[in-house]
Structure 1
Amino acid sequence: MAKMMLFRVLAICVSIIVSGSSSVGSDSESLLTCSKFHFEEKVLEKLVRFEHLMEINEEKMNKWEVKLESLSSKIDEQMKRWEDTFLSKLDNMDEAVNETEAFVKSVRDIQLQEQSRINNSYHESVEHFKDRSKNESEMYGQQINAMLESMSSKIEEVGVAEKKRGSSMELMQYTFQQDQRRFNQSFDLFLENTKLHANKTINELFAKQQRVAVTACVSSGRIFPDNVVRFSTVNFHVGIDNLDTFKSSGKFVCEIPGLYYISAHIYTRTQGQVFYVKKNSVIIASSASDSDSTYSTNPISAVVELQLKDTLYVNAGHSILATYSCLSIMKVI
């Protein structure tokens, strides 16, 4: 391989020299300053350098061949060691298999011997049991006959006692049913009372927790025909279902029993006129307009206990002005 490469390189060099010589000859006429010997000297210098490079490459190739031969020998040695190890392990496995087969054979022989001994012992035990059972059966037969006769007489006695017990059980069952009926009635009555009491307590607690309030004002000034002041402009309300009735009649109807607080401010130009807070037509608070001023704003308030359907309202028999006449009712408890 190296010789072929060297031959190719020499051929290339010769061709370069020939072409260079011809080129030099042709150009010598036009370029008098270029020397033919100078050109050949440069070509030879390049050939020497090229040969030096070829020698370096050939040395590297030789080193690689040495390394490859060394690696190949190491691989052959390792493969041989692995082969020897594998064969040794196979021999050990063969020995283990032979020992296992010998152990299994010995165990099988011992098992057969033990099985034979157990079978012989079993047959002897069965024969002995048969002989003993035959003798004991005759003895037990006599004892059983005596026991049966005794049991027959006792069964007759038990039958008589059972009849007596049956009549007693019927009487006890009747008494028990009567007591159970009375207990059920009492228990049902107790449950009903408990349920009613619990419902009442829950309703009371629920009513106490419910919020009821309203704030309203007079929409237009006038004298109301039945003296019940209508606060028809509702600014705030909560917990009231019959709000339309309150706006049209002027009467607050209690939907949730409890303690209520009522406060009103009556603005009027009538001097020294009395007005009232009434519960179910009964006066619970009263106030009067100022007797000195033409226009006056007059407060009135009260705390009252209301039950379901009770009414609460302001009664005034004189002119009420709309600007500052307002009412507030709130459930306290």
Structure 2
Amino acid sequence: MPTVEITIERVAITAHPLSSGSVTRNIMKLSDMQYSVGITNLAAYRNTGKFTCEQEGLYIISASVMSLSSGAEFYIYMNGNIISETYIAQNNNNNEKHTGAVTITQELNQNDKVWLYATGSFYLYGGLQSTLTIVKIK
């Protein structure tokens, strides 16, 4: 019996916010690219904060967001629909940082868009303290 080799296109991105600051009911732009492979239009991602799928398949989407604000919350959107909600811990002390993290799997088709959205107003820590990673696994 002949052997059939399946080739999976490598697609991955890891990004952080360029700097810390307030976000208010808006797309969180994590445009400081730490790693990317298999993505041809990184400029569009950096400008919009929306990942556009170029290779359909099964993906892991992982986000970790650090905030100083009490009751901070963020969503993962896909094509305008909420696919995940993450609440960052209640903060009773103004100097406490808290992190909300989520990892989901999602089937993405070509041109599907995925992004993080701040549901209210909160202080977002930049640099390595907040991260979005998207990896094609199949």
* Structure 2 length-normalised TM: 0.85
- Structure 1 residues 38-187: aligned runs within 5 Å: none
CA contact (8 A) 2:74 2:86 kept: yes
1:229 corresponds to 2:28: yes
Provide the residue aligned with 2:123 in structure 1: 319
For 1:303, give the aligned amino acid: T
- Which of 187, 211, 215 aligns to 2:10? It is 211
Q: How far 1:207 moved relative to its partner?
A: 9.1
Distance in 2, Cα, partners of 1:259 & 1:250: 21
State which structure, 1 or 2, has the greater radius of gyration over its C-alpha atoms. 1
Provide the residue aligned with 1:302 in structure 2: 104
Provide the residue aligned with 1:259 in structure 2: 58
For 1:244, give the aligned amino acid: A
Task: Say if 1:318 and 1:231 are closer, same or farther in 2 by CA, change over 3 A.
Answer: same
Q: How far 1:229 moved relative to its partner?
A: 0.8
Task: Say if 1:208 and 1:260 are closer, same or farther in 2 by CA, change over 3 A.
Answer: farther
Provide the residue aligned with 2:136 in structure 1: 331
Q: Point out where structure 2 has 5 or more consecutive residues left out of the alignment.
A: none
User: For residues 189-243 of structure 1, what are the alpha-carbon distances to aligned partners after superposition, in whole Å with 9 as ceiling and x for unaligned?
Assistant: xxxxxxxxxxxxxxxx999511000111111122346611111111111000011
Distance in 1, Cα, partners of 2:59 & 2:105: 6
For 1:330, give the aligned amino acid: V
Distance in 1, Cα, partners of 2:135 & 2:78: 15
CA contact (8 A) 1:266 1:299 kept: yes
Match of 1:231, SS state, is: coil
Q: How far 1:268 moved relative to its partner?
A: 0.6
Identity rate of aligned residues, in percent?
A: 30
Match of 1:319, SS state, is: strand
For 1:253, give the aligned amino acid: T
* Structure 1 length-normalised TM: 0.37
For 2:73, give the aligned amino acid: V
Provide the residue aligned with 2:90 in structure 1: 291
Q: Point out where structure 1 has 5 or more consecutive residues left out of the alignment.
A: 1-204
Q: How many residues align?
A: 129
CA contact (8 A) 1:207 1:257 kept: no
For 1:314, give the aligned amino acid: L
CA contact (8 A) 1:208 1:258 kept: no
Q: How far 1:272 moved relative to its partner?
A: 1.4
Distance in 1, Cα, partners of 2:5 & 2:37: 15
Q: How far 1:245 moved relative to its partner?
A: 0.8
Q: How far 1:319 moved relative to its partner?
A: 2.5
Distance in 2, Cα, partners of 1:216 & 1:328: 7
CA contact (8 A) 1:285 1:301 kept: no
